[in-house]
Structure 1
Amino acid sequence: MSPRSGKTVVTGGCGFIGAHLCAHLMQRGEDVVVVDDLSVGSRGNLEALGLGAVDVQTVDIRDVESLTRLLRKSRPEEVIHLAAVHFIPLCESDPLNAIRTNVEGTQALLQACTAAGSIHSVVLASSGAVYRPDTTAHRETDALGPTDTYGHTKQWAEQLAGLFHSRTGIAVGIARLFNTFGPGETNPHFIPSVILQLMQGNTIRVGTLSTRRDYVYVSDVVAAIAQLGDVCRERGLLTCNVGREEAVEGSRIVELIGRALGRDVKVVVDRQRVRADDRPVLASDCRLAHLELDWHAQTGLAEGLEAALERPLGAGVALA
């Protein structure tokens, strides 16, 4: 399937996944407009990928009127919605802000898309956190049952997107992303935290290393998101998991990073870093993405971690 020739708006385009997505879309020859309030993201993340000239519009994702004006002026064919509060500790410490951004912000954007008159498709970045905990890999038909604020906000956003599709007929793609990693993360997640600690010495402080997560490299994620935007126009409403289909313990991540940096790692358990609702396993079954999107994760775990070493955190981000 050939890429679109029209314009694409990317919300949260100055963030981690957003900046990489903009690079991917522009490499396909697409015209991109970024919407970002720069509260977490930074133009520096685009500049780090050679995208300093991208059109960045500083707009609050909850501002329906400003979003509507922007979409009517730019006339995009597609909107890819990444803007959200992603870091789970922030969602738990300020759940009201997470709900306002992730849920109210999604509804505001969908209302603006309805009013714009040019939109053919909307892609929503959701999460594997929407699923009910299980020790086996999740398929898209599995029961939903989030265990934390972030997961609930993503489930609600999915429901709003489904309602938007049924009322407007505009195509919707929902990408349930698993643990995305790579250069330039804009939140101090587990992998950049371990990298930066080991760059400073042999000792790391962690909450737990026994949980298993499905780590998928950012270039694979943005390829899936872009392809979902193409395919959902034919399907109407399509939800796909995006993962590497391998649940890896935190101890394995530490081992690989330590080996890459030549460190004799000493682990110190910090109980303050343990999350109360941390599920033991979160893994994806991506057979639907293989079938519908002709997409497979291409980057191995060790290869992706090597790349992440070059720039663990994005512009202006500090290690928590």
Structure 2
Amino acid sequence: MKYLIANMEPWLLSAVSKHLDCCKLEHLAGLESCFEDEQLHVMIGFHNMRNLTEIGHLCDVLRFFAKAKRIDRVTFFSSYGVYEPSRGPYREDSPFSPKNFVGLSALMIEQTIHYLNGLTGLSADIIRMFNVYGPGQDAPYVVPLVLSQIIQHGRVFVGDSAKVRDFIYMTDFIDLFKRITSLENSGEVRIFNAGSGEATAIHELLIKAQEITSGECDVIFDASRLKKEYDYDYAVADISKIKKELAWEPKVSLEEGLALTYQWILGRSGK
């Protein structure tokens, strides 16, 4: 099976493409030549989706090639931002109500995939990503941001440190991704949360980061780091479905993942 990967952030593209024979594209748009005569397994994210017009265009391209039977299967790297805010873990069937543009983008593409499944029988897997981290990822993501600030400045600037997140290390995410894509086509849309199932407040992450880097640092509140759009206070996955259906569990603890990421960032810094 040939793979086409598009609209994916560079760090995620690098991690995923190492395991596939694939064609890589920045945007899924006007791609007749990439589809050729054979069916492809199309993998998409929503990177570089800056407005609703661009999201609509991506959905139009998916619709065109799905109706032409040029797509064998779709894997969509979605976001927990599709969910309605909650103070408990999110199940795959939790209510939808995106509160920011990331969630809106993800939900629009998810709904298009469901529509195309009903229209053409297109098989699809939707992977709702929580906080994936690890070597290769840069700021503004929270883990590389915190660790790089400690290395470079000995202090960390944060917004709301009470927010709670679900951190999953890159190798665990890739293992989960490989299990999902190895499933046979079902003719359905399958949805999976991709997280560790562990809740970690940002202030707890800061303490662990200080332990990993073998030194204390000043933690300074910075209002500019508060997101202009709604930012979830609590974002943790219920992973009972992937445990049951895929026999998958995370192997890398947050402490171990932070240590591995710290060594990678330290190497890049020349220190």
Relative to structure 1, is the Cα distance of residues 187 and 261 closer, same or farther in structure 2, using a 3 angstrom cutoff?
Answer: closer
- 1:72: which partner in 2? 36
Counterparts of 1:115 and 1:145, CA distance in 2: 29
Counterparts of 2:35 and 2:138, CA distance in 1: 26
Counterparts of 2:92 and 2:167, CA distance in 1: 18
- 1:53: which partner in 2? none
**Deviation, structure 1 residue 82:** 2.4
Query: Which of 26, 34, 37 is 2:24 aligned to?
Result: 34
Counterparts of 2:82 and 2:9, CA distance in 1: 24
- 1:291: which partner in 2? 244
Counterparts of 2:13 and 2:231, CA distance in 1: 26
Matches of residues 7-156 of structure 1 in structure 2 within 5 Å?
7-12=2-7, 15-23=10-18, 25-26=19-20, 31-36=21-26, 60-61=27-28, 63=29, 65=30, 67-72=31-36, 75-85=38-48, 97-101=50-54, 103-111=55-63, 113-114=65-66, 117-156=69-108
- 1:170: which partner in 2? 122
Counterparts of 1:298 and 1:105, CA distance in 2: 39
**Deviation, structure 1 residue 118:** 4.3
Query: Does the aligned pair in 2 maintain the 1:140–1:240 contact within 8 Å?
Result: yes
**Deviation, structure 1 residue 120:** 1.9
**Deviation, structure 1 residue 235:** 5.6
Relative to structure 1, is the Cα distance of residues 218 and 245 closer, same or farther in structure 2, using a 3 angstrom cutoff?
Answer: same
Query: Which of 103, 107, 113 is 1:161 aligned to?
Result: 113
Which runs of 5 or more structure 2 residues have no equivalent in the other structure?
none
**Residues 46-103 of structure 1, C-alpha deviation per residue, up to 9 Å, x if partnerless?**
xxxxxxxxxxxxxx33x2x2x2221126x35311112424xxxxxxxxxx824344x2
**Deviation, structure 1 residue 171:** 0.3
**Deviation, structure 1 residue 232:** 5.9
Counterparts of 1:35 and 1:68, CA distance in 2: 13
SS of equivalent to 2:263? coil
TM, length-normalised to structure 1: 0.76
**Residues 163-193 of structure 1, C-alpha deviation per residue, up to 9 Å, x if partnerless?**
1111111201111111111111155211111
Counterparts of 1:128 and 1:121, CA distance in 2: 22
SS of equivalent to 2:50? helix
Query: Does the aligned pair in 1 maintain the 2:46–2:106 contact within 8 Å?
Result: no
Q: CA RMSD in A?
A: 2.3
Counterparts of 1:214 and 1:146, CA distance in 2: 18
Query: Does the aligned pair in 2 maintain the 1:172–1:232 contact within 8 Å?
Result: no
SS of equivalent to 1:234? coil
Relative to structure 1, is the Cα distance of residues 235 and 114 closer, same or farther in structure 2, using a 3 angstrom cutoff?
Answer: closer
What is the number of residues matched between the two proteins? 266
**Deviation, structure 1 residue 112:** 5.0
